[in-house]
Chains A and B, each alone.
Chain A
């Protein structure tokens, strides 16, 4: 370890964790530690106290209950990757999990931790937005839920209060006529997204009755694209329709140039990735044919 010194607390219940967080001075919360620990090793983060959630067994779950798919704060990326609940209906979850970092990190890192980190390059915030999910927080005043589209504020900042702990994220249970997908472009296997797009569609009688599109790494937070959703709703799926939605998503994106890619390139990739995600989501919702019939090919993204 190359970190500076810190104090380590390991509560075993949510109640204990919440009271620790309330009583300690600016505690940092550790779940999977896959963002926090590297930052501590680089000494970019120097928390004085760390509250480690890994002893709280009640937070270790991934389940369908009460009309939701629920992920507890200790559900690892690998749990999503391996879960039998994650199938066509939660296609964007199935797409995302294996694209997060590498197997070692997926075995340790958590979905909730990624959302709490609120890095606009993180994948799970986009999936949460696409599924119109919620964040469940516990604080001294008890439990509250925050809708995904009210959660993210700025890079690494969200509407969680200082003394609150995210115990769960959840998305509404997906029906047979619903499909979602996530496509991501990255510099190399295991990287953060250069750009990413999640799409979710609900089909009824050959028409799209509900749709969402959300984006990764092209704005100050993960963002959803209401214009694209509006454009899709009520329409019959087609390659042209997806292309138009992709263009709307590209217009909506607000990427910045960095060492991994220019804003112009990222914007164009939002267009391509959104088309691909919509084609896959629609295929999964309709359950009757390859995505290629919607006019985009299936070349693997990234790897």
Chain B
């Protein structure tokens, strides 16, 4: 429909308009879940298993019930006696999945698993009472290391899984990989461990539930309210059409807020029992102990290469803990490692075998990147190490093995849509002046200073599809305001601004006229959620299609009133006019008013509204090259990041400032993974890194100035050309840092490096060399 006189969407898409979310957030207007008050509301506190593995012998609530203001104390028996099935959603497996109950009945399989729920008139009393619930435990032998859990004499965590295996899975062609390894001039074997970290959002988990008969209304700090509605229906035995779930302002998610946590659904369940509003807000300690953890893997890799430097075969055997239960995402994440394991490289014979293992720890699931950081870390560490074995420059070795033409079927289950890997590599190396750096590195080594450069060349997969769509609707109201609704939830990511830009560009209206509503099942019947960097490529595509449909509907109405054929009416900047006669025009608001009055041509719906579902035909595959320049102090093991250059290609950028902000945040979390963060348990399954005093989240002082640049290779299969950007920084950063440190320490001939690269680990590696 559009031609030369139509409004050019490019004028708004691609512009760094200010984030529309920020005035609201910065001025204290935001309403987080814990801010919601109900006059007659009561408060929930959870009693959690002290032990990593224990039989629950008895729960005695009498002391707690004796406290003034205590309303009720519930145990697993109370849930069982209710109408609620009481079992939480889990990933599918190739074997039976142990049921994950709302409250532990017979056995607790991780420290922090809820055992009893206390409801009181105020939150202080609830907490005091929770301490008074007397739980008798019989401690059972625990196992926290996934490799140890696979030993034949390891304690079995679930009766139904005596070998502690939660799932087994593979991808690729095992015979082809073995043949390639057999035929290769050289096979390099490398062990790549990945540290367990905790996605830590500013806002802890919180829930508020109100119940009226069997109607349930839930406010949750969540990334996926529609999924939470299904989960509440399933777990509580309440029909989905009696439940509303909304996400108020959400203070960060990072994947940690995709789960139907016991705390969320117990808030709902206790509200149904008591018919009173119930609020639950987790403490930071509770979050660290019992929100999902992520990333931990042990990977054994074999890479077959020719003497000339061509990668011919790859085999990975990965072991991933799933924690005390297999939860949603518990197998998806380790599978994502396998599905993206070849990275940017064309590998003729590739195969990945994955074993998911029960351990007495918090369950593991998705954290920003969800398997792609793990895949990128493994392949980029391998590339560095193999290049070193072959005596090749790691940059040239990468270039030699790049996937060159698209679409590219990887052999591991993905088909890359588009890419130009050399371009981001060249741009990044240009920024750091690679040749000059190598000379300086050489010179300073003679003075006893150890500089290193690390490259991370990544490709990742966003916007899961086909089969997982997203809804987006657009309505032009009689006042001229455009109301946009999407099935995603805003969690700090800025996609309200993104949707606004898309819709304002399509309709040619000022961004102030656009209102975006998300994260509420009551206003948007269909929805999937915010994860996998899918908001712009998937929901954005749906929103764009709806805006286009509304525009064309309005054009028909305008044509009717301008007494012209539709083809002769051009869509301008917030108006329609007859081609060649710009003064014969109607504004969009005038069209909306006419439609509201019912003054529309026969056969045209007077409601200027459209709702679209967009089902992506494939994932999108953003890529890029990150380069870290570090200096290592061998006397202490300290690492200084001198420069960090990121060049990302995320397809079309709707708002480059938001893109850059997302990259920054991700890089910071990646630096945390590489240098600081480590979730540790003792042998009994007690969390050692149980507070932010013990768990080293990166702070502003740990982050160098981040230098960012980008290239644009459009996604060929969605209407916006957008690939998604929420996770790329976290995916790219760890191997850039670790490869840089390995490069700096190259004269010492150290062994493997294990994240986080604490000063002691580096000092020890130097001492032992």
The answer to whether A262 has its CB under 8 Å from any CB of chain B is yes
A187 & B640 in contact (Cβ 8 Å cutoff): no
A189 & B701 in contact (Cβ 8 Å cutoff): yes
A261 & B699 in contact (Cβ 8 Å cutoff): no
| A104 → chain B closest CB, angstroms | 11
Q: Which residue of A lies closest to B694 (CB)?
A: A259
Interface string of B727-768 (1 = CB under 8 A from A): 000000000000000000000000000000011100110000
The answer to whether B657 has its CB under 8 Å from any CB of chain A is no
| A136 → chain B closest CB, angstroms | 30
The answer to whether A4 has its CB under 8 Å from any CB of chain B is yes
Interface string of A1-39 (1 = CB under 8 A from B): 110110000000000000000000000000000000010
- Give 9 A-B contacts (CB < 8 Å), ordered by A residue: A42-B285, A43-B131, A188-B676, A189-B701, A259-B680, A262-B760, A265-B760, A269-B636, A299-B638
Q: How far is the CA of A29 from the CA of B723 in the complex (A)?
A: 57
B640 & A265 in contact (Cβ 8 Å cutoff): no
Q: How far is the CA of A185 from the CA of B636 in the complex (A)?
A: 9
Interchain CB contact (< 8 A) of A191 among B128, B636, B640, B696: B696
Interface centre among A43, A187, A272, by most chain B C-beta atoms within 10 angstroms, is A187
Interface string of A32-66 (1 = CB under 8 A from B): 00000010001100000000000000000000000
Interfacial chain B residues near A269, Cβ < 8 Å? 636
The answer to whether A238 has its CB under 8 Å from any CB of chain B is no
Q: Which residue of A lies closest to B128 (CB)?
A: A4
Query: Taking chain B's interface residues, is the majority helix, strand, or loop, or is none over half, making it mixed?
Result: mixed
Q: How far is the CA of A1 from the CA of B283 in the complex (A)?
A: 10
A261 & B676 in contact (Cβ 8 Å cutoff): no
Interchain CB contact (< 8 A) of B635 among A261, A272, A303: A272
Q: How far is the CA of A185 from the CA of B676 in the complex (A)?
A: 14
Q: How far is the CA of A1 from the CA of B128 in the complex (A)?
A: 13
The answer to whether A190 has its CB under 8 Å from any CB of chain B is yes
The answer to whether B500 has its CB under 8 Å from any CB of chain A is no
| B699 → chain A closest CB, angstroms | 5
A2 & B696 in contact (Cβ 8 Å cutoff): no
The answer to whether A161 has its CB under 8 Å from any CB of chain B is no
Interfacial chain B residues near A185, Cβ < 8 Å? 636, 638, 759
Besides A5-B124, A189-B700, 12 new A-B residue pairs in contact (Cβ under 8 A), listed by A number: A4-B128, A187-B676, A188-B699, A189-B701, A189-B702, A259-B689, A262-B760, A265-B764, A268-B763, A272-B635, A302-B638, A303-B702
Query: How many chain B residues touch the partner (CB < 8 A)?
Result: 31
Interfacial chain A residues near B702, Cβ < 8 Å? 188-189, 303
Interface centre among A1, A188, A265, by most chain B C-beta atoms within 10 angstroms, is A188
A261 & B696 in contact (Cβ 8 Å cutoff): no
Known: A188-B696, A189-B699. A2 touches B638 (CB 8 A): no
Interfacial chain A residues near B699, Cβ < 8 Å? 102, 188-190
The answer to whether B523 has its CB under 8 Å from any CB of chain A is no
The answer to whether B691 has its CB under 8 Å from any CB of chain A is yes
Q: How far is the CA of A147 from the CA of B691 in the complex (A)?
A: 35
Q: How far is the CA of A101 from the CA of B79 in the complex (A)?
A: 45
Q: How far is the CA of A164 from the CA of B763 in the complex (A)?
A: 45
Q: Which residue of B lies closest to A302 (CB)?
A: B638
In the complex, the 10 A-B pairs of residues with the closest C-beta atoms, listed nearest first: A189-B701, A188-B696, A265-B760, A303-B701, A189-B699, A261-B760, A272-B635, A299-B633, A187-B696, A188-B676
B688 & A188 in contact (Cβ 8 Å cutoff): no
Interfacial chain B residues near A272, Cβ < 8 Å? 635-636
B636 & A187 in contact (Cβ 8 Å cutoff): no
A300 & B640 in contact (Cβ 8 Å cutoff): yes
Interfacial chain A residues near B759, Cβ < 8 Å? 185, 265
| Chain A interface extent, by class | 20 to 34
Interface string of B524-555 (1 = CB under 8 A from A): 00000000000000000000000000000000
Interface centre among B285, B633, B635, B699, by most chain A C-beta atoms within 10 angstroms, is B635
Q: How far is the CA of A93 from the CA of B283 in the complex (A)?
A: 35
Interface centre among B131, B631, B638, B676, by most chain A C-beta atoms within 10 angstroms, is B638
Q: How far is the CA of A43 from the CA of B127 in the complex (A)?
A: 11
Known: A2-B127, A185-B759, A299-B633. A190 touches B701 (CB 8 A): yes
The answer to whether B698 has its CB under 8 Å from any CB of chain A is yes
Q: How far is the CA of A272 from the CA of B759 in the complex (A)?
A: 13
Interfacial chain A residues near B698, Cβ < 8 Å? 188
B758 & A187 in contact (Cβ 8 Å cutoff): yes
| A95 → chain B closest CB, angstroms | 16
Interfacial chain B residues near A303, Cβ < 8 Å? 701-702
| B679 → chain A closest CB, angstroms | 11
Interfacial chain A residues near B631, Cβ < 8 Å? 299
Interface string of B112-143 (1 = CB under 8 A from A): 00000000000010011001000000000000
The answer to whether A85 has its CB under 8 Å from any CB of chain B is no
Interface string of A93-113 (1 = CB under 8 A from B): 000000000100000000000
| A255 → chain B closest CB, angstroms | 12
Interfacial chain B residues near A38, Cβ < 8 Å? 693
Q: How far is the CA of A5 from the CA of B680 in the complex (A)?
A: 32
Q: How far is the CA of A102 from the CA of B124 in the complex (A)?
A: 29
Interfacial chain A residues near B131, Cβ < 8 Å? 43
Q: How far is the CA of A55 from the CA of B702 in the complex (A)?
A: 37
Interface string of A175-199 (1 = CB under 8 A from B): 0000000000101111100000000
Interface string of B691-713 (1 = CB under 8 A from A): 10110111111100000000000
Interfacial chain B residues near A301, Cβ < 8 Å? 636, 638
Known: A188-B676, A188-B698, A300-B640. A265 touches B689 (CB 8 A): no
Q: Which residue of B lies closest to A187 (CB)?
A: B696
Interfacial chain A residues near B760, Cβ < 8 Å? 261-262, 265
| B689 → chain A closest CB, angstroms | 7
Q: How far is the CA of A272 from the CA of B696 in the complex (A)?
A: 23
Interface string of B17-33 (1 = CB under 8 A from A): 00000000000000000
Q: How far is the CA of A1 from the CA of B124 in the complex (A)?
A: 8
Interface string of B232-251 (1 = CB under 8 A from A): 00000000000000000000
B283 & A2 in contact (Cβ 8 Å cutoff): yes
Q: How far is the CA of A265 from the CA of B758 in the complex (A)?
A: 11
Interfacial chain B residues near A302, Cβ < 8 Å? 638
Within 8 A of B (CB), among A266-301: 268-269, 272, 299-301
Interfacial chain A residues near B676, Cβ < 8 Å? 187-188
Q: Which residue of A lies closest to B131 (CB)?
A: A43
Interfacial chain B residues near A191, Cβ < 8 Å? 693, 696
| B342 → chain A closest CB, angstroms | 35
Interfacial chain B residues near A265, Cβ < 8 Å? 759-760, 763-764
Q: How far is the CA of A189 from the CA of B131 in the complex (A)?
A: 34
| B286 → chain A closest CB, angstroms | 11
Interface string of B620-641 (1 = CB under 8 A from A): 0000000000010101101010
Interfacial chain A residues near B700, Cβ < 8 Å? 189
Interfacial chain B residues near A5, Cβ < 8 Å? 124
Q: How far is the CA of A302 from the CA of B694 in the complex (A)?
A: 16
Q: How far is the CA of A299 from the CA of B630 in the complex (A)?
A: 13
Interfacial chain B residues near A1, Cβ < 8 Å? 124
Q: How far is the CA of A292 from the CA of B701 in the complex (A)?
A: 25
Interface centre among B631, B633, B760, by most chain A C-beta atoms within 10 angstroms, is B760
Interface string of B673-688 (1 = CB under 8 A from A): 0001000100000001
Q: Which residue of A lies closest to B447 (CB)?
A: A297
